[in-house]
Structure 1
Amino acid sequence: MSKRAAIFTCVLALAASFALSAPAVAQQTNAGQTVGSVSGLPVPRYVSLKSDRVNLRAGPAKDHRTLWVYQRAGLPVEVTAEFATWRRIRDSEGSEGWVLHSLLSGRRTALVAPWDRNKEGGPYPLYERASENVKVQARLEPGVIVSIDNCDGTWCRVSIRNVRGFIQQKLLWGVYPDEAIE
């Protein structure tokens, strides 16, 4: 290995270790909201996987080992940090790692009560309107991915295939409590 290549490798290793040890990849705005230093978007924030094959890596480079391979396009994940073209994400089970930003979409999706997959709480009602006193459009099993149309902090209007309806926001992973989405 040439001296130049060795120096370049050291610089890359330092940059990767900085990214892993420094959550300072975001900055505070005047309004107190934290935004990514690369994208200028809020951190943390929810996004979804764009592809049905996404490698979750131990660090922000392709030479870091693959921790997991996601195989579910549309799966919601939470961006917790940014470094160059890489985003550190967390999934609904708490697994964390780095993915290329080009494999993420700003399209908002959510999982229906993923914490309830092994319990007896579901299926959960999808209502015609934002009320429990109206017709049930469908019943959704825990872990089902829904597309989010909008949320008011209590209810979310979602769709799955050709069915649209309202579900209580507290039953979704992929939306913050009290978050309004338009």
Structure 2
Amino acid sequence: MRIITAFLLMVLWLGAAAQQDKVLEIRAHYKAVKVWTNCTDTDSLMYSGYYADQMIRNVNDAPWRAIGIMHDTITFWYTDEMEAENADGNESGDKSWALQLVTRSSQYAMMFQYQEWLFSDGKLVFHYDRFDGYDEESTYEYRYYFDNNKLIRFMNGNQIIGFDESIDPILQSGERMKTLFLVF
């Protein structure tokens, strides 16, 4: 019985260690991408290897009925599409492999939302969602880490907690961002 218990504990520990390694890998990729997306030095941007396109909804900030102020900006950060199409492992020549990061900033009346979708090899690996609502109950900050479309870590604020809801809406939001990128 002790051997079985020890074996099960070792398997659980190895699984947790593998997840932690994957999270660290995702964070390193995130930091590498953010170095260039936050760069404001025009000389450095010439050599960044990242391109950026933006979609802005309600450019003139005209008030929306029943909402008031409404503004939405989506930015796509991507590498060379031709290189991505021919990358090792990209058997289908999928251009979405070029997509690295999507950021979305939205304002609805006096509420603000900021979201990020981080991609690697055409797959969603990280999603960040922060909403500043009217009060503490409507304010949240979530982080989702993925490996092969499976949730490996969920954080509410800075706490790692269990996630017992379907991850399909989050994965679908990543697919929508890839589709927007491809048709943009």
TM-score for both structures, normalised by structure 1: 0.29
Q: TM-score, normalised by structure 2?
A: 0.29
Name whichever structure is richer in strand by fraction. Answer: 1
Instruction: Give 1 or 2: higher helix fraction.
Output: 2
